[in-house]
Structure 1
Amino acid sequence: MKKIWRVLYNWWKGFRRLFRRFRKIQPIFSSSFIQYWYCQNWDCDRWIEEYRMLQKIGIHEIILQSTVDTKSYYAVYPTKMEGYSSNSTDMIETALSAADSIGMNVRIGLGFNNDWWSIDTHEQEWLDHEAEVNTVIVREIATMYGGHRAFAGWYIPYEIHPLMALNNVQQANLNLLLKKIAGSIHSISMKTIMIAPFYNGRLSGPVTLTLWSNSVRHIFNDTGIDILALQDSIGAGFNTLGDLDEIYSYTQKAANEIGLNLYAVTETFEETSGGNIPAPHRRILKQLSKTSDYVSGFVAFSINHYQNGNEPTQVNGYEHYYRYFLNHLK
């Protein structure tokens, strides 16, 4: 029976992809990332306040970027993994309970290790360990929180970039990592899985867009991942607005060939020497416009951190986007 449901589910996903390919997507956000350092101690009322702020501008899904630090052995929920400490507040339970009460959706991120940014993807032992830990995390989260209506999907926090996959061996290692994690999810859940890689236009010498699109095919093919949410990397300064058409066109072609839905992660911040600050509203609109022909959804990184209507210093940015959102409802 499970195999029959999986076949029907895959057929439905294929139909949705075909439908979206011929449907113009409104350039507005449907999701926003939030990082646990900001919200791990919120109570239910504070989560509801955040959700209402997002719902007002048409966002009905929040993405908990990660829930476990596998390097420092720390979780934001009461994990039973040996050697791990837990946050005093069960952040996942609180976020889901609040979302249940007002019709919000929550996509739950898994574990992340900051050594990801420095490892060599030939290090199969390291990758295998991360896959193993995340398999345990998947089982715990599904068991503890699977009954929540608001639990809408999964997010794999490992952000793949071009220099991680310059050769076939590295690409195969990353493919195996994702297959193991996504496979553990699909063994107990039919909810969609998202991942958010990025392309760095500054590296176009060693990694052309042709090589990047080939990497996308090899890394993500047959992994069980549903949504490829490509970061536009405008806020980080890796790409320019003029780069986005080609980047998303090449990525869209690769994603279509391997059956993935392509989303845009729109960076709503600006990197400065003093840290990240909210991006100008006009620039965000250009980012949305540039990528709208290639994607079937928009994710903000992040309304919660840079255009938050509940933060006094960010209200102006929030109101600018709110007026833009209302114009797209007309």
Structure 2
Amino acid sequence: MSHFPLRRRQLLSFLACAPLFAGLPGCTPPVGVQGSFLQLWKSHADLTPAQWRERLAAMAEMGCRTLTLQWVGLIGGEAAWMIPESLLRTVLDIAHDEGMQVQVGLPFDNAWWQALSAEPGEQAAFFDSSLVTTRQYLASAPWPQHRAFAGWYIPYELEQYHWATDDRQQRLAQWLQAMSRSVLQYSNRNAAISTYFSVLPTQGSLAQLWSVLLDAAPLLPMVQDGVGVAGLGNLLAIEPLLLELRRLRAPFEVVVELFEQLPAQNPDGSEFKARSADYPRVLRQLEWARSTGAEQVVAFALDPWALSDEPRARRLREEWLKR
């Protein structure tokens, strides 16, 4: 018998009491986060070691002990770039000094966006090509020898909308099986990859998709709460996935989004606008995250949403550190 109805009632009860939980019996303050993503861009190469130390020290102060670099660069097309190896070494060195471990994101292939909706042959060609470039990078990357290294992250986000059919799921599973095997050759940890619930109408099931994927490949799912885009109600939408992961006894992590998406001028989704969330909302997310059974609660992301000079980010950090 499924325990989802009971869990759903518990979540609805949580959402009802969350705004006031600090002073109510049975509503326990959250423990915060243990990790954070860092989305690297070309502009990060301009930061000095002192600026990196300031940023990473601020993350450590907010509870971060594991840093996930979303990627080390983008490959393919005119927008391709890679972070200099010297910069990455600086980041790992400073992270180690601050008591953090670093999960390194593999290069992100810009062709992923086209592959999501591609015909079977084109999609299979992308998977084959990405395996080649991933294996080349893994064979040459020095990071597994670094004392701060904590494993590899596959920088693609999985949802149920594009992977609803059996044939697509099988291609995805075979690709991730090959990717995870390659990763394990250069690390003793399972590859991590993010997943989220898409609000687009589909027959796909995120829980069913992950049942297929975990049967094929050793992966660490990082489950995004989706609150930054879809609001607190999205916690109910991802509950079936969390239930399935617990049923499978599969280790997973939960990603708490620290931003609030804003309406964009372009309705086609090509423009992303957001601002830092307010602390009461984040507090509710952290309390929920602690109840999920996740091995780690990860922020997306302390930098910039709690560390930038923008007033809302400063306020979020100040209220966070007062707790």
Cα 1:286–1:322 shift into 2, 3 Å: same
Match of 1:293 in 2: 291
Question: Partners of 1:147 and 1:162 in 2: how far apart?
Answer: 36
Paired amino acid for 2:138: V
Tell me by how many angstroms 1:25 deviates: 11
Q: What is the SS of the residue equivalent to 1:95? A: helix
Match of 1:234 in 2: 227
1:206 matched to 2:206: no
Match of 2:104 in 1: 108
Match of 2:167 in 1: 169
Match of 1:245 in 2: 236
TM-score w.r.t. the length of structure 1 is 0.78
Structure 1 gap ranges (5+): 1-23, 79-89, 325-330
1:48 matched to 2:47: no
8 A contact 1:42–1:91 mirrored in 2: no
Match of 1:255 in 2: 245
Match of 2:66 in 1: 61
Match of 1:131 in 2: 131
How many residues are aligned here?
279
Cα 1:69–1:230 shift into 2, 3 Å: same
Cα 1:46–1:115 shift into 2, 3 Å: same
Question: Partners of 1:258 and 1:157 in 2: how far apart?
Answer: 24
Q: What is the SS of the residue equivalent to 2:274? A: strand
Match of 1:178 in 2: 176
Paired amino acid for 1:35: Q
Match of 1:273 in 2: 263
Please identify runs of 4+ aligned residues in structure 1 that moved more than 4 A: 24-27
Cα 1:69–1:265 shift into 2, 3 Å: same
8 A contact 2:223–2:254 mirrored in 1: yes
Cα 1:169–1:178 shift into 2, 3 Å: same
Paired amino acid for 1:215: L
Q: What is the SS of the residue equivalent to 2:156? A: coil
Paired amino acid for 1:236: V
Range 275-284 or range 90-99, more displaced: 90-99
Tell me by how many angstroms 1:288 deviates: 2.1
TM-score w.r.t. the length of structure 2 is 0.79
Paired amino acid for 2:100: M
Paired amino acid for 1:241: L
Paired amino acid for 2:61: K
Tell me by how many angstroms 1:199 deviates: 0.6
% identical aligned pairs: 22
Question: Partners of 2:65 and 2:96 in 1: how far apart?
Answer: 12
Question: Partners of 2:190 and 2:46 in 1: how far apart?
Answer: 27
Question: Partners of 2:89 and 2:47 in 1: how far apart?
Answer: 11
Structure 2 gap ranges (5+): 1-27, 265-272
Cα 1:152–1:113 shift into 2, 3 Å: same
The CA RMSD over aligned residues, in Å, is 2.3
For residues 111-160 of structure 1, give each alpha carbon's deviation from its aligned partner in whole angstroms, at most 9, with x where no partner exists. 1123323323631011111122112122222xx22222111121111101
Q: What is the SS of the residue equivalent to 1:100? A: helix
Tell me by how many angstroms 1:98 deviates: 1.5
8 A contact 1:244–1:291 mirrored in 2: no
Match of 1:217 in 2: 211
Tell me by how many angstroms 1:212 deviates: 2.1
For residues 74-100 of structure 1, give each alpha carbon's deviation from its aligned partner in whole angstroms, at most 9, with x where no partner exists. 22135xxxxxxxxxxx32111112223
Match of 2:7 in 1: none
Cα 1:261–1:68 shift into 2, 3 Å: same
For residues 238-268 of structure 1, give each alpha carbon's deviation from its aligned partner in whole angstroms, at most 9, with x where no partner exists. xx323413523x1123223444212211111
Q: What is the SS of the residue equivalent to 2:191? A: strand
Cα 1:318–1:71 shift into 2, 3 Å: same
Q: What is the SS of the residue equivalent to 2:252? A: strand
8 A contact 1:197–1:231 mirrored in 2: yes
For residues 172-209 of structure 1, give each alpha carbon's deviation from its aligned partner in whole angstroms, at most 9, with x where no partner exists. 11111211221111112113421111112443x533xx
Cα 1:219–1:317 shift into 2, 3 Å: same
